[in-house]
């Protein structure tokens, strides 16, 4: 299909070699849940992820640099200027990635809520008594996890992150992640969206720590419509929640192969991804590259 060398294929992204300093990152329409990839595609999902990543990269440029270079096909190698990649491919700088998922939590939900209800901690750190599900935390908290090549990531403490990457890199990663989250969350709140938590991936480019991979997308974040939020229960999310709900309802054991997704689930998922993009950015997704 292309003369570019494929160097990595993840759950929803492919990375191609461009030159010694650059890669081409292509977001597909595949969707995963519980670390399992489904056969069915969600139309335009890859373009939503790319559009949001590029938008956030510009918005947060005064807080942190990224490895993003260009989404314009004219900046790509000739063999990468393919119609099906328009709006889903990004030229990026090659980064030496940290072996961490840099998670920031502003609200207690998901695995953090489960840990809190069991032992009163979040990533091993004690929290105040009496928190409700989906309640806002007193301050956003940096809660790293391992980056597993297979299976599930494992939540770790900040001290364990220091052991993995060293004190200097851990401190820099924490600062970039929390400052980026705070600015993004403040903007989203003005647009009626709560960013409950998000996952950053950071890497070194010429010795500088930058944000790499996707950035504040429905795949890497929990977006809650503010009008649906109330402490005590987790609200609907503008992400892959329809996939999680539909497949859990079948009694699936969350191991491959994944059960088939209905047309209704696929359409609802696409709608939520598009809604997240449009509410947060104020732009029409139909105007994005590759759709017009």
- Is 84's pLDDT higher than 80? yes
**Taking the model in full, what pTM does it have?**
0.94
- Model confidence over 50-80: pLDDT tens digits? 999 999 999 999 999 999 999 999 999 999 9
- Is 99's pLDDT higher than 90? yes
Cβ contact 197:107 at 8 Å = yes
- Model confidence over 222-255: pLDDT tens digits? 999 999 999 999 899 999 999 999 999 999 999 9
* Range with lowest mean pLDDT among 19-23, 77-81, 150-154, 182-186: 150-154
- Is 168's pLDDT higher than 90? yes
- Is 151's pLDDT higher than 70? no
- Position 11 scores a pLDDT of 86
Q: Which residue has the tokens 């503008």?
A: 238
Task: Give the separation between CA 185 and CA 202, rounded to whole angstroms.
Answer: 19
pLDDT band at 183 (very low <50, low <70, confident <90, very high): very high
Task: Give the separation between CA 194 and CA 225, rounded to whole angstroms.
Answer: 6
- Is 291's pLDDT higher than 90? no
Q: Which residue has the tokens 């440029």?
A: 61
- Position 149 scores a pLDDT of 57
pLDDT > 70: percent of the chain: 97
- Is 150's pLDDT higher than 70? no
Q: Which residue has the tokens 């709608």?
A: 271
Rounded average pLDDT over 45-54: 98
- Position 266 scores a pLDDT of 98
- Position 252 scores a pLDDT of 95
Q: Exposure pattern of 9-41 as b/e (b: 16+ CB <10 Å)?
A: eeebbbbbebeeebbbbbbbbbbebeebebebe
Among 275, 267, 69, 270, which Cα is nearest to 188's?
275
Cβ contact 196:109 at 8 Å = yes
Rounded average pLDDT over 151-169: 89
- Position 1 scores a pLDDT of 46
- Position 43 scores a pLDDT of 96
Cβ contact 279:189 at 8 Å = no
Q: What is the DSSP letter of 155?
A: B
Mean pLDDT, rounded, of the chain: 94
Q: Can you state the angle between helices 263-281 and 45-59, rounded to 10 degrees?
A: 20
Structural domains of the chain, ranges and CATH numbers in brackets: 1-94 (3.30.200.20), 97-237 (3.30.470.20)
Q: Which residue has the tokens 């950015």?
A: 281
Greater pLDDT, 146 or 216 = 216
Cβ contact 221:187 at 8 Å = no
Rounded average pLDDT over 128-148: 93
Task: Give the separation between CA 248 and CA 252, rounded to whole angstroms.
Answer: 6
- Model confidence over 104-117: pLDDT tens digits? 999 999 889 999 99
Rounded average pLDDT over 263-281: 98
- Is 256's pLDDT higher than 80? yes
pLDDT > 90: percent of the chain: 89
Rg of the Cα trace of the chain? Answer: 19
* Range with lowest mean pLDDT among 8-17, 174-183, 262-271: 8-17
List of residues 6+ apart from 60 with CB closer than 8 A: 66, 180, 183, 184, 211, 215
């Amino acid at each position: 299909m292309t003369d570019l060398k494929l160097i990595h294929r993840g759950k929803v992204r492919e990375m191609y070699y461009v030159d010694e300093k650059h890669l081409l990152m292509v977001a597909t329409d595949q969707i995963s849940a519980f670390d399992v990839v489904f056969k069915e595609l969600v139309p335009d999902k890859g373009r939503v992820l790319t559009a949001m990543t590029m938008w956030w990269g510009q918005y947060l440029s005064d807080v942190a640099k990224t490895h993003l270079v260009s989404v314009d096909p004219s900046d790509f190698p000739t063999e990468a200027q393919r119609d099906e990649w328009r709006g889903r491919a990004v030229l990026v700088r090659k980064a030496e990635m940290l072996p961490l998922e840099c998670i920031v939590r502003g609200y207690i939900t998901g695995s953090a809520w489960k840990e809190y209800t069991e032992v009163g901690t979040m990533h091993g750190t004690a929290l105040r008594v009496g928190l409700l599900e989906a309640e806002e935390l007193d301050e956003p908290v940096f809660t790293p996890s391992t980056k597993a090549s297979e299976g599930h990531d494992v939540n770790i403490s900040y001290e364990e992150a220091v052991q993995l990457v060293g004190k200097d890199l851990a401190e820099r990663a924490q600062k970039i992640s929390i400052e980026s989250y705070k600015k993004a969350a403040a903007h989203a709140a003005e647009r009626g969206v709560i960013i409950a938590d998000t996952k950053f991936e950071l890497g070194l480019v010429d010795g500088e720590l930058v944000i790499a991979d996707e950035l504040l997308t429905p795949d890497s974040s929990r977006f809650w419509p503010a009008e649906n939020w109330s402490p005590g229960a987790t609200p609907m999310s503008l992400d892959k929640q329809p996939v999680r709900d539909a497949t859990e309802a079948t009694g699936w054991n969350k191991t491959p192969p994944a059960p088939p997704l209905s047309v209704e689930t696929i359409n609802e998922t696409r709608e939520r991804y598009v809604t997240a993009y449009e509410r947060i950015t104020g732009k029409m997704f139909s105007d994005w590259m590759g759709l017009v």
